[in-house]
Amino acid sequence: MPQANAKIDKAATAAAAVVPGPIELTINGETFRHTGAPDMPLLWYLRDVLRLTGSKYGCGVGQCGACTVHVDGKAQRSCLLPMSALSGQTITTIEGIASGDDLHAVQQAWIDEDVPQCGYCQAGQIMATVDLLKRKAQPSDADISQLTNLCRCGTYPRIRKAVKRAAQLLADAKAAEAKAAEAKAAEAKAAEAKS
Q: Which residues bind other proteins (CB under 8 A)?
A: 14-15, 17-18, 36-37, 39-41, 44, 47-49, 51-61, 63-64, 66, 93-95, 98, 103, 107, 110-111, 114-123, 126, 141, 144-160
Distances (CA, A) of 148 to 12, 23, 155: 35, 30, 13
Q: How far apart are CA 57 and CA 40, in angstroms?
A: 14
Report the residue number, 135 or 189, with the smaller CB distance to other proteins: 135
Q: What is the DSSP string of the chain?
A: -HHHHHHHHHHHHHTTT--S--EEEEETTEEEEE-S-TT-BHHHIIIIIS--TTS--S-SSSSS-TTEEEETTEEEEGGG-BGGG-TT-EEE-GGGSSBTTB--HHHHHHHHTT--SS-TTHHHHHHHHHHHHHH-SS--HHHHTT-----SS--HHHHHHHHHHHHHHHHHHHHHHHHHHHHHHHHHHHHHHH-
Pairing of strands 23-27, 90-92: parallel
Report the residue number, 30 or 95, with the smaller CB distance to other proteins: 95
Report the residue number, 100 or 193, with the smaller CB distance to other proteins: 100
Report the residue number, 8 or 69, with the smaller CB distance to other proteins: 69
Q: How far is the CB of 191 from other proteins (least distance, A)?
A: 41
Report the residue number, 4 or 37, with the smaller CB distance to other proteins: 37
Report the residue number, 89 or 116, with the smaller CB distance to other proteins: 116
Q: How far is the CB of 177 from other proteins (least distance, A)?
A: 23
Q: How far is the CB of 185 from other proteins (least distance, A)?
A: 35
Q: How far is the CB of 117 from other proteins (least distance, A)?
A: 4
Q: How far is the CB of 171 from other proteins (least distance, A)?
A: 20
